[in-house]
Amino acid sequence: MSLRTRILLSLFIFALLPLLMAVAINLPLVLDRFDAFYRAAFLQDLRADFKDLDQHLASRDANVRLLARLLEPTSLGLNDREPDAFIVVQEQRRFTQWLNRLWRNEHDMIEVRFLRRDGRIYFELLRDRQTNQWRKPQTPLNHLDEPGLNALLSGERDGVTLSSVRVNLAATDPRETLTLRLMAPIKTNQNALSGAVVMTVDIGGLARRDPNTLWVLDNGDYLRLPDLPKASGTAFEDFPGLDQLFTAKRPVVWEGEGRQMIWAPMLPTQTGSPLWVGRQVNKLPMSTFRSELIQRVLAIVFGLIVLVWFAAHQLSRRAEQIGSELITGLRQTLETNQPVSFNWHDNKELRQVSCDLTELSHRHATQVRNLQTRAQELEESNRYKSEFLANVSHELRTPLNSILLLSKLLMDKSVLPPEQHQQLQVVYKAGGELKRLIDDVLDLSRIEAGRFQLHIESILVADLLEDVRLLLQPQFDQKNLQLVVDLRPDAPREISSDPDKIRQILKNFVANALKFTEQGGVRIQVEPTSAPYALVFTVIDTGIGIPEDKQAKIFEAFQQADGSTSRRYGGTGLGLSISRQLAHLLGGEVKLQSTLGEGSSFSVLLPLKYAETVTEPVVDNEFAAETSVSVEPAQEAVELDLAGWCVMLVDHDIKTQIQISQLLQGWRAKVILAGDLDEVVESIHEGAPVDCLMIDPSVDDADVMINQLRQANDSLLMVGLFVSAQALEDNTVDFAAGLVKPVQPDQLARVVATK
């Protein structure tokens, strides 16, 4: 996939994703809200049908108040004094006639009762079902058990009191199936409570008025009126799941079998449970609105998609053009050292960036030319130095060998006084030390000059160890120390390398261990190790140990742990430096573990077979290593699939960023380039799933970046990028792996393949 296509898709998805998310989130919400509004309107319409009941009850409230105010308690026998029976009968008959004239057409009022203060019924009237006339019942009416009646008679309540709905499905009179009772106090002219009037009202007309409205009790039974057709079954059977909805005691919506019903607890009954009213919802207007709304939203979304695609296409084309010019210009600057001019005039920011890049390119070209000149001078000077040391060392060895030979012959054959014999021994010993120093200088100069020859052959590890032991055992016997050789059973028995160089490395390690060990002994241990190496030779001693801050320094030429070490133990400090460079020539590396006062452990890790590579001379001069500029050899193609990987690369060196990012992108990995702490923090806040961090520890706030990324991902692969092998050795950060710039593809592949 080309860069332009990636940018196009990224911009398109970045712009389209919020739009689609907004539609996906808000459209169902709008539809649900409209559905809820539609149901609420339908419920409001359902309740509006019951406004007649409210108005009707208001008029009956006025009727009850009228009765309570116009009655004469004395004439009806409601006062405390015993009235004349004849007068009471006459007044009750006259009152009944007055009610028949006043409420001739009010057929829903079916009972009127007058009670004394003690709750006893003194006078009651019943509307005849046939004639609709008020009359005194032949038998007493049913007993009153209204909860609010006692509160009314005791004076706790004042005004008209409305009872709960009474449901009597067993009543033979249809008027008594669904009734309400209104109660009002009767007071004297002195505003003293003398009794109460109770009126029973039939509200069953609501259930008879609309056949599409279902009346259901809280237990699921239909409200079956005697004068209406009886429904079969129960509402819970006809509407599965309705019993669970009724437990909410509030308006609910039932859906099923292609129907939608709204149920509302309309009237409270005397048992405490509500009387439910249900009506089917007409879904046609809602379905029409939903279809039209979805069609319009899709049309708008399609138009926005076309607009976003066009904008993303234009931006990606310009971004690809700028990116191509940038990569071409940087590559030309880095590879040909020729200055490049960037001309971007899209906006003020791009103009500033193009000016800065142009100036940077010209400065880089100038500095590279200066560095190349300086590097050539340093290389020439270093070559002259190495050749001079090699020639001088060779010229010194010839007379020195004669001095050693003659002093040895004189000590063995001549008869000299003891004092002169002792002086001759000093000459011989000093000559030997000088010869070892010249040999080390000669080896070091050959390595730096690149003239060190390797002789690769098959080596039996056991024979090699035995040669080292036989060579150094006499020195251990003189100091009464032990020399132990431990070849592990699972270690390789045969390797392909240069036996002389390995023997020289081990001799240097063992000689150092012997020099700094006074008690105990030295162990040479050989065991297998992990790739890319096959085995490790480890020399362990029980000597004085090395301070942690001096462990990296001792591998430099002419360096020891401190000045007192050379004065006390002797030595030039070249052995470990030569050993490390010999290990690099053989494709291996040297490691050190040491604790002050407890001993040291020097290890050399080697591959199973020496692989011939183009090896540059190892130079300890840091300035020369940092400033040398040379054309890199062609990098071998390495096949690796890192699809799904995300690598963050933090480095100020543009050349390193381009090299590593091209390698990783060629392996299908996603690369995030960061130059400082702000860019790393921004990537973390954006939720970038970083799998691997490659960072130069010398950049500012490197430790803060590492800690933040480790907190975001505890399984993060940490890889350090170093300007030189010495910087890698001096590193104190706990990296999973370290790479020296310029990074080789095979080394990078081995590092990322470990995760």
Q: Is the pLDDT of residue 737 over 70?
A: yes
pLDDT of residue 19: 75
Give the whole-number percent of the chain exceeding pLDDT 70.
Answer: 81
Least confident of 64-78, 311-325, 564-578: 564-578
Query: What three-state secondary structure class fits 588?
Result: coil
Local confidence band at 524 (pLDDT 50, 70, 90 cut-offs): very high
Choose between 534 and 15: higher pLDDT: 534
Choose between 448 and 426: higher pLDDT: 426
pTM (2 decimals)?
Answer: 0.37
pLDDT of residue 636: 47
pLDDT of residue 564: 44
pLDDT of residue 627: 30
pLDDT of residue 389: 67
Q: Is the pLDDT of residue 614 over 50?
A: no
CA angle, 64 then 67 then 71, to 5°? 155
pLDDT of residue 539: 92
Mean of pLDDT values over 156-184: 84
Strongest mean pLDDT among 25-39, 86-100, 384-398:
86-100
Q: Which of 338, 319, 316 is nearest to 329 (CA)?
A: 338
Crossing angle between the packed helical segments 284-336 and 654-666, to the nearest 10 degrees: 130
Residues 673 and 680 sit within 8 Å (Cβ to Cβ)? no
Choose between 201 and 675: higher pLDDT: 201
467: which DSSP letter? H
Stretch (H or E) spanning 279: strand 274-280
Cα–Cα distance measured from residue 5 to residue 399, given in angstroms and rounded to the nearest whole number: 75
Local confidence band at 525 (pLDDT 50, 70, 90 cut-offs): very high
Choose between 491 and 328: higher pLDDT: 491
CB proximity list for 102: less than 8 A, separation 6 or greater: none
Q: Is the pLDDT of residue 457 over 80?
A: yes
Residues 152 and 183 sit within 8 Å (Cβ to Cβ)? yes
pLDDT of residue 697: 84
CA angle, 158 then 162 then 165, to 5°? 160
Local confidence band at 662 (pLDDT 50, 70, 90 cut-offs): confident
Q: Is the pLDDT of residue 692 over 50?
A: yes
Mean of pLDDT values over 682-701: 79
Local confidence band at 72 (pLDDT 50, 70, 90 cut-offs): low
Q: What is the pLDDT of residues 493-523, one digit of tens each?
A: 999 998 888 988 998 888 888 888 888 889 9
pLDDT of residue 8: 66
pLDDT of residue 617: 38
pLDDT of residue 228: 64
Q: Is the pLDDT of residue 538 over 90?
A: yes
Give the whole-number percent of the chain exceeding pLDDT 90.
Answer: 5
CA angle, 265 then 271 then 276, to 5°? 20
Q: Is the pLDDT of residue 631 over 90?
A: no
Q: What is the pLDDT of residues 204-221, one digit of tens each?
A: 877 777 777 888 888 888
Q: What is the pLDDT of residues 252-283, one digit of tens each?
A: 888 887 787 888 887 888 888 888 888 877 76
Q: What is the pLDDT of residues 282-301, one digit of tens each?
A: 766 767 777 887 888 888 88
**Cα 529 versus chain centre, distance:** 36
Domains of the chain: 51-207 (3.30.450.20), 457-611 (3.30.565.10), 632-752 (3.40.50.2300)
Q: Is the pLDDT of residue 57 over 80?
A: no
Q: Is the pLDDT of residue 231 over 70?
A: no
Q: Which of 641, 642, 661, 640 is nearest to 650 (CA)?
A: 661
pLDDT of residue 624: 31
Residues 739 and 751 sit within 8 Å (Cβ to Cβ)? yes
Please state, rounded to an integer, the average pLDDT across all residues of the chain.
Answer: 77
Choose between 235 and 633: higher pLDDT: 235
Local confidence band at 628 (pLDDT 50, 70, 90 cut-offs): very low
Choose between 443 and 717: higher pLDDT: 717
Give the count of alpha carbons within 13 A of 583, CB side only.
Answer: 25
Choose between 410 and 49: higher pLDDT: 410
Mean of pLDDT values over 733-743: 83
Length of the chain: 755
CB proximity list for 702: less than 8 A, separation 6 or greater: 650, 695, 696, 733
Q: Is the pLDDT of residue 651 over 90?
A: no
Residues 311 and 304 sit within 8 Å (Cβ to Cβ)? no
Mean of pLDDT values over 168-178: 81
